[in-house]
Structure 1
Amino acid sequence: MKPPKFSVFLSSFLLLSFLLACQEKTPQQKDTLTVAKDFKFETASLSQIGLDSIQINKMEDSIKSGSYPNIHSVLILKNQKLVYEAYFKGHDELWGDSLGVVQHHKDSLHDVRSVSKSIVATCVGIALKQGKIDSLSQSIFDFYPEYVKYKIGLRSQITIEHLLTMTTGMEWNENVPYTDPRNSEIQMTSSEDPIEFVLSRPLLSNPGEKWEYNGGTTQLLASIIERATGKNIHEYAKENLFTPLGITGSEWTQFPGLDLPAAASGLRLKSRDLMKFGMLYANQGQWNGKQLLSKSWVKNAFQPHIWFGRNNNVGYGYQFWIFKANTISSGHDHLIPAAVGNGGQRIYIDSDTGLIVVITAGNYNNWTLKKDSEALLVDFIYPALISN
């Protein structure tokens, strides 16, 4: 789904100025599953890890009072230790259908919306490591011989990497509301064949030249996973990503009337499972001694392949947003990758400070809200790092 518009600033510690236009099993695998089930987060107090509890308490009070509305969970991991975890009640949805007011807790499944995109991309990285996909420079039409009629002109040059970085050059419009029939993702969802719908889009620019937010690229990536492995994206993710991480509960909403997971936005996970996903990347693709992703994949996934936004300060990796930041602690610009989902779903992974922050919320399609998930990060969490 369409990401929200960012405009975030934190004086004295973090400077962020964002502008977005828009949001077969082996015995070894069995052993990995046993270990993963036993995984427990290491914990520490805020003061033990050097975070100011006054700032975090202010954040919690502000959420409970509604000053920062409809936040459902906040988890903070610092230096591999879980130092804060809280859940809040609030109105929620399941892919647009109201669930009413929900009392969220650590076992609650939550829409992650476009964080799904980062999960899909990660499955591509795993399939690449497994040799199921030859190369990211492979033409997408290698997987679609029945759609060869669309392999013409510039479209014939689109590669898997162009899908990952949303630089296909396709005509695609997610800048209008999802209630607007002109919205390309809604058109894809409503089409009889979502894959053909995406492949048939006319090209407006050379592949690789221009970024355009495009949920259709994620749907193609999921389709390529299925064609390369014989498993749909949810099946493949459960076997090759979720099970090793000890993620035992997940749901993936399907397109209406089709046996097809909505790859760009349909996943539901627990907040702790989102934290595990962030930790996998912070650990350079390794989990419990097993290298699920190659280190080169992690590096490239978190590398801005294209810059945009005001003053080119927002980048995009492999279905991850990349934000340029400057911190007093480092004294230089560094990059903060994030998985971003409509409504306030976030995973921030700041390797410079050893910080991973997971936030879930129910502010779906509210693009003007100022006291949102990003504001929690800027107004409370980063100040807590420097207040002590």
Structure 2
Amino acid sequence: MKNLITTLLLLLIVAQVFSQRGTTNDSPAKLTDGISIAALKDEKMDGNKINMLAEEIGKNTYPNIHSLLISRHNKLLYEHYWPGEDQHWGNSMGMVPHERDSLHDIRSISKSIVSACVGIAIQQGKIKSVDQKVFSFFPAYAAQDTGMKSALTIKHLLTMSSGLVWNEDVPYDNPENSEIRMISSPDPVGYVLSQPMEAPAGQVWKYNGGTTQLLAAIIERTTGMPVDQFAREYLFKPLGITTFEWVKYPGTTMPAAASGLRLRSRDLLKFGLLYNNNGIWQGKQIVPAQWVKASFQPHVKHPGGAYGYQFWIWEDKVDNKPITTVNCVGNGDQRIIFDKEHDLVVVITAGNYNKWSIKKNSAAIMRDYIVPAAEK
């Protein structure tokens, strides 16, 4: 009898969790975190369309979405969280009841955070410029400073145009994946620097999390602080971000710069609003304005758009009209999406890790509902 009661209680809890996927919030919470809020209608957003979107997310039309935050004109207009299957840096967490204070894997959005830290370090004079040669920071690896590698600069790392041989085109559970090999290496930095060149630096874009790890290593070598501590002091504290986790490589104290950061969705929005306002937060310049501008510029072309300083620039169409968005992107469909034309900053977190063929993804959410809801 006791086991039967326990089973019934568990079934009720599960049913309640799934039933919550259909609920919506009319307006976000007004907190003391520096985020301004407003109603959808006050900023000319079609609330009916957003409610329809929430219903579709609740029905799993857009699968396993965990949070959706919509801001326009620098005001948070919509904020909602859904329960769903999740992971912690590749380890299953099962069903998670995501909430406002929940930390979430942001995976490769970590790269955009690292980029911001590079910009701050340049502003501080710790790094001279993006044109500094990579091997000038790594004298212990001077034996690798030969041939085409000698031309490598920080800018090549930022724009993923290093020319290094690298393979992240295979799944991350495949041992041939270069990032997995880097993570498994006793010397991740040395692993990246030892890769051969397949193209001259600056000519060909190729996705490479190893270059982000080199950027983090440069920050540590020039500031004396690992990237997680540097980010805490000079980026997160000024933004009022007090809770985060940066996963370390197994058996080390080295933060996984390319993919290991966990943040709350509202704190992702703060980062988005910071860049939407040219690096200013509450009247204070946190990231240099010129760095924000350079980060959003298309430095290297790739299929579907271009790449900035660890930011993606994508071309799309909404109602047969072209639209350009800048994106921070993480595995699993984590996104910060900047739509300058409509002055939108959108945060989406999800649990679709290593599922690359989902058509109803974050980009579809923008295309199908959010951009059409933004009235001119």
Same fold (TM over 0.5): yes
In structure 2, what is the equivalent of residue 322 of structure 1?
Answer: 313
Match among 218, 222, 227 for residue 228 of structure 1 = 222
Tell me which residue corresponds to 1:30. Answer: none
- Which whole-Å deviations, capped at 9, do the CAs of 1:342-370 have from their partners, x for residues lacking one? 00100011222110000000000001111
Q: CA separation in 2, counterparts of 1:369 and 1:332? A: 23
| Aligned 8 A contact 2:228 2:246 in 1 | yes
Q: RCO (CA 8 Å, sep 6+): is it higher in 1 or 2?
A: 1
Give the structure 2 partner of residue 273 of structure 1.
267
Secondary structure of 2:80 counterpart: strand
The residue number in structure 2 matching 1:137 is: 131
**How do 1:323-362 residues align onto structure 2 when only pairs under 5 Å count?**
323-325=314-316, 335-362=324-351
Contact 2:85/2:94 (8 A) holds in 1: yes
Q: 1:283-322 maps to which residues of 2 (within 5 A)?
A: 283-309=277-303, 313-322=304-313
- Report the Cα distance in structure 1 between the residues aligned to 2:37 and 2:285, rounded to whole angstroms: 24
Q: 1:40 to 1:223 in 2, by over 3 A?
A: same
Note the C-alpha offset of 1:324: 2.9
Matched residue SS, 2:198: coil
Q: Is the CA contact 2:318–2:371 (under 8 Å) kept in the aligned structure 1? A: no
Indicate the residue corresponding to 1:27 in structure 2. Answer: none
1:279 shift after superposition: 0.6
Residue of structure 1 equivalent to 2:86: 92
> Gapped runs of 5+ residues in structure 2?
1-30
Work out the percentage of aligned pairs sharing the same amino acid. 52
Aligned to 2:357: 368
Q: Give how far 1:187 is off.
A: 0.5
Per the normalisation by structure 2, the TM-score is: 0.89
**How far 1:326 sits from its partner (Å)?**
6.5
Q: Shift of residue 334 of structure 1?
A: 6.3
Cα deviation, 1:45-90, whole Å, max 9, x if unaligned, reads: 1111111111111111111111111100000001111110000000
Counterpart of 1:274, as a letter, is L
CA distance in 1, matches of 2:356, 2:33: 37
Q: What are structure 1's unaligned runs of at least 5 residues?
A: 1-36
Q: What SS class does the counterpart of residue 306 from structure 2 fall into?
A: strand
CA distance in 2, matches of 1:64, 1:172: 39
Distance across 2 between alignment mates of 1:257 and 1:41: 38
The structure with the largest alpha-carbon Rg is 2
For 1:349, give the aligned amino acid: F
Q: Does the 8 Å CA contact 2:34/2:282 hold for their aligned counterparts?
A: no
User: Quick one: which of 185, 200, 205 aligns to 1:206?
Assistant: 200
Q: Which amino acid aligns with 1:385?
A: A
Task: State the alpha-carbon separation in 1 of the partners of residues 267 and 321 from structure 2.
Answer: 31
Matched, 1:125 2:82: no
Cα distance between partner residues in 1 of 2:341 and 2:356: 29
How far apart, CA to CA, are the structure 2 residues paired with 1:281 and 1:225? 20
Matches within 5 A, 1:120-269: 120-269=114-263
Q: In 2, distance between residues paired with 1:332 and 1:383?
A: 11
Partner of 1:32: none
Which residue in 2 is equivalent to 1:379?
Answer: 368
Runs of 4+, deviation exceeding 4 Å: 325-328, 331-334
Cα distance, 1:40 vs structure 2: 3.0
Residue 106 of structure 1 aligns to a residue in which SS? coil
- Structure 1-normalised TM-score? 0.86
TM-aligned CA deviation for residue 308 of structure 1: 2.0
- Residue 65 of structure 2 is matched in structure 1 by 71
Secondary structure at the counterpart of residue 78 of structure 2? strand
> Shift of the alpha carbon at 1:325?
5.0
